[in-house]
């Protein structure tokens, strides 16, 4: 079934074990990275077991994508969500009732209605799959209240096996999934969180938009990507800026007109080389495999969020980048948002710990991948540095920042703990600004004692002290710096401080060859481009995104191997029996034209 329907020659990781367990009727909890092949873990059992597999998903776009892809493979699939008319929904309910569906995708709100539950009770159900299961956790980064009610599946359908799947869940979240979904007897499968094809890079903010533009032009010109911003206004401004610079960029956020938002999402999925600039609301339901980069212009609130968002890059296994620009203002802004939140104190403590972990990832001098995997509890002792993140490729220098930290903390204390970074740094650099003169701070002992560092370097010192808890931001005093209990030991010389050295300004990078072209000759690259053009025509004719026809990685293998027969084409990963029947002769003709 794996080869004939889905076109893959072998299972990956623990897929076969999970499928065996579910086919045998056992419950499962599966943690597997984005792009790791979670869908097959319930799609194949749904086809092997008697009845219809019901997939609970909060992501309308993902439902539509997966149903379109399954139909291309000859699988009888449908979805029930708010995009359907009452007549369309009724037709799908009838098909379900008479056993004409292999897989049904349904939104949790729809599933929990008495009408839907009664319909399912009259239907032969093969299994229940709860996708994005981390949504059940109140401590997670994407809590959905209706997910808590999904325990009804265990109560109403105790004989039907259930599988809960997620790409991001730390220990606390895993325990909450098991408890809330009543999965106490479930087999737990934790795959590696490592995505070795993604290169992680975090740069210090200087001119973030310009840095982003340089990164896209040098590394990913003409390729699809996602840029995440914290605010709607920043999304609009960044998309406009990139558009003015010749980048095909579109905005996406909840404040847009629904039709405009849907149109932009559809273009991103169906056209090549679109860069989507979005708030974090975008992307969870996007199954687009050829996203070559994910960029953050604002700091995510947690490693879970960062991992989920960066995981949307390189789902096809080809090289991809996770790039982020990060600065002091990010730390101050997120700390302020957290302090002003109306959440209870327990939630704030959990959120603060998650932000601290995210800051630790940004400031680490170790391999970022190892730090990321450590967070999710994955043993990394045997891995060593990954060789594919910025701290491995260009190791940062560490310097003794004890004296600098003492100067900064002392200047904050002597100016009354009433000012933010700009004013304090002016004092350290000996700048007699109007504000410095107004407050008579030119007469302080710390005035002018910090000229050995630049303005940007002092901001780096401040950022690292805030990140490590040696300095706090008073949000009631307009972002003024405050000393913490931990500051005392530094000022007394009882605690040394090690800091990352400010990275030198990056030299303009040479234009990188597109990821899909790696290892291809000029002739093969030409064939690959012609195959992509053919695929675009086929996708338009079928009304589906191009990657539903065939993935870039499959086209790349065809261009490289140049099969001369249907049997040779069938041996390529991603080409199953239905693809051979629908497109085999067309593909062979294009290959023959090149040889």
Going by pLDDT thresholds of 50, 70 and 90, the confidence category of residue 139 is low
pLDDT for position 510:
47
The answer to which of 20-24, 151-155, 450-454, 513-517 has the lowest mean pLDDT is 513-517
Kindly state the percentage of the chain with pLDDT values over 70: 94
pLDDT for position 284:
55
User: Is the predicted pLDDT of residue 377 greater than 90, yes or no?
Assistant: no
Ordered strands of the 162-166 beta sheet = 77-80, 103-106, 52-56, 125-130, 162-166, 28-31, 187-190
User: Is the predicted pLDDT of residue 513 greater than 60, yes or no?
Assistant: no
DSSP helix/strand/coil, 146 = helix
| Domains delineated in the chain | 2-190 (3.40.50.300), 198-393 (3.40.50.300), 398-500 (1.10.10.10), 519-594 (1.10.150.80)
Q: Are 17 and 28 in contact (CB under 8 A)?
A: no
Going by pLDDT thresholds of 50, 70 and 90, the confidence category of residue 383 is low
User: Is the predicted pLDDT of residue 4 greater than 70, yes or no?
Assistant: yes
The H-or-E segment that residue 198 falls in is: strand 198-204
pLDDT for position 593:
86
Average of per-residue pLDDT values in the chain: 90
Tell me which long-range contacts 521-524 makes (C-beta under 8 A, separation of at least 24): 523/594, 524/559, 524/560, 524/562
Q: Which of 34, 41, 6 lies closest to 20 in space, CA to CA?
A: 41
Phi and psi at residue 187, in whole multiples of 5°?
Answer: -80, 135
pLDDT for position 214:
96
Kindly state the percentage of the chain with pLDDT values over 90: 69
User: Is the predicted pLDDT of residue 342 greater than 90, yes or no?
Assistant: no
pLDDT for position 172:
82
Task: Give 433 or 545, the one with higher predicted confidence.
Answer: 433
User: Is the predicted pLDDT of residue 61 greater than 90, yes or no?
Assistant: no
pLDDT for position 253:
93
Residue 47 CB-density burial (10 A; 0-12 exposed, 13-18 middle, 19+ buried): middle
Angle between helices 402-414 and 455-467 (to 10 degrees): 90
pLDDT for position 509:
47
Could you tell me which residues are beta bridge partners of residue 187? 28
Task: Give 486 or 168, the one with higher predicted confidence.
Answer: 486
Tokens 């070795």: give the residue: 196
pLDDT, tens only, 255-286: 999 899 989 988 998 888 999 999 986 755 57
Mean pLDDT across the stretch 94-100?
96
Q: Which of 218, 368, 235 lies closest to 298 in space, CA to CA?
A: 235
Could you tell me which residues are beta bridge partners of residue 134? none
pLDDT for position 249:
97
User: Is the predicted pLDDT of residue 542 greater than 80, yes or no?
Assistant: yes
pLDDT, tens only, 209-265: 999 999 999 999 999 999 999 999 999 999 999 999 999 999 999 899 989 998 998
- Sequence-distant (6+) residues with CB within 8 A of 95 are 78, 101
Phi and psi at residue 199, in whole multiples of 5°?
Answer: -100, 120
Going by pLDDT thresholds of 50, 70 and 90, the confidence category of residue 287 is confident
pLDDT for position 508:
45
Going by pLDDT thresholds of 50, 70 and 90, the confidence category of residue 512 is low
pLDDT for position 283:
59
Which range is most confident: 121-125, 193-197, 521-525?
121-125
Go through the chain and tell me how many residues it has: 595
The answer to which of 113-122, 468-477, 562-571 has the lowest mean pLDDT is 468-477
Could you tell me which residues are beta bridge partners of residue 278? 228, 252
């Amino acid at each position: 079934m794996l080869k004939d329907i889905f076109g893959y020659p072998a299972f990956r990781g623990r897929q076969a074990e999970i499928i065996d367990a579910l086919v045998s009727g056992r419950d499962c909890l599966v943690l597997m990275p984005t792009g790791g092949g979670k869908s097959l873990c319930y799609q194949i059992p749904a086809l092997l077991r008697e009845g219809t597999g019901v997939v609970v998903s909060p992501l309308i776009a993902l439902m539509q994508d997966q149903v379109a892809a399954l139909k291309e493979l000859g699988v009888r699939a449908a979805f029930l969500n708010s995009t359907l008319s009452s007549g369309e929904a009724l037709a799908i309910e009838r098909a379900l009732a008479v056993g004409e569906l292999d897989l049904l995708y349904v939104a949790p709100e729809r599933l929990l209605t008495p009408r839907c539950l009664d319909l399912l009770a009259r239907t032969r159900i093969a299994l229940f799959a709860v996708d994005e299961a981390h949504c059940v956790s109140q401590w997670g980064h994407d809590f959905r209240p209706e997910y808590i009610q999904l325990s009804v599946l265990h109560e109403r359908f105790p004989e039907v096996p259930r599988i809960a799947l997620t790409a991001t869940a730390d220990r606390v979240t895993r325990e909450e999934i098991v408890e809330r979904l009543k999965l106490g007897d479930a087999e737990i499968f934790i795959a590696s969180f490592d995505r070795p094809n993604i290169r992680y890079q975090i740069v210090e903010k200087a001119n973030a938009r310009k840095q982003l533009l340089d990164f896209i032009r040098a590394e990913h010109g003409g390729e699809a990507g996602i840029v995440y911003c914290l605010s709607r206004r920043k999304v609009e401004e960044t998309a406009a800026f990139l558009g003015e610079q010749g980048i095909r960029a579109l905005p996406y956020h909840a404040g847009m007109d629904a039709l405009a938002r849907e149109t932009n999402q559809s273009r991103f999925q169906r056209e090549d080389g679109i860069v989507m600039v979005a708030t974090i609301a975008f992307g969870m339901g996007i199954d687009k495999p050829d996203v070559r980069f994910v960029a953050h212009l604002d700091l995510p609130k947690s490693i879970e969020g960062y991992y989920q968002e960066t995981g949307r890059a390189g789902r096809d296994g080809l090289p991809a980048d996770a790039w982020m620009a990060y600065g002091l203002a990010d730390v101050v802004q997120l700390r302020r948002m957290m302090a002003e939140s109306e959440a209870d104190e327990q939630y704030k403590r959990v959120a603060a710990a998650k932000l601290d972990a995210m800051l630790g990832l940004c400031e680490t001098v170790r391999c970022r991948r190892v730090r990321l995997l450590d967070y999710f509890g994955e043993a990394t002792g045997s891995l060593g540095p990954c060789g594919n993140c910025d701290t491995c490729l260009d190791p940062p220098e560490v310097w003794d920042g004890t004296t600098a930290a003492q100067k900064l903390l002392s200047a904050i204390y002597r100016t009354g703990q009433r000012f933010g970074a700009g004013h304090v740094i002016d004092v350290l650099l000996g700048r007699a600004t109007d504000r410095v003169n107004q407050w008579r701070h030119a007469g302080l002992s710390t005035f002018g004692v910090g000229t050995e560092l630049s303005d940007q370097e002092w901001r780096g010192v401040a950022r690292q002290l805030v990140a490590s808890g040696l300095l706090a931001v008073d949000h009631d005093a307009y972002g003024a710096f405050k000393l913490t209990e931990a500051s005392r030991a530094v000022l007394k010389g009882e605690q040394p401080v090690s800091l990352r050295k400010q990275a030198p300004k990056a030299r303009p990078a040479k234009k990188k060859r597109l990821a899909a072209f790696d290892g291809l000759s000029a002739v093969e690259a030409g064939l690959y481009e012609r195959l992509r053009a053919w695929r675009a025509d086929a996708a338009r004719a079928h009304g589906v995104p191009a990657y539903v026809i065939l993935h870039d990685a499959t086209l790349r293998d065809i261009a490289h191997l140049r099969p001369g027969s249907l049997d040779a084409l069938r041996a390529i990963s991603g080409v199953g029996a239905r693809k051979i029947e629908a497109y085999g002769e067309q593909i062979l003709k294009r290959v023959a034209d090149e040889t």
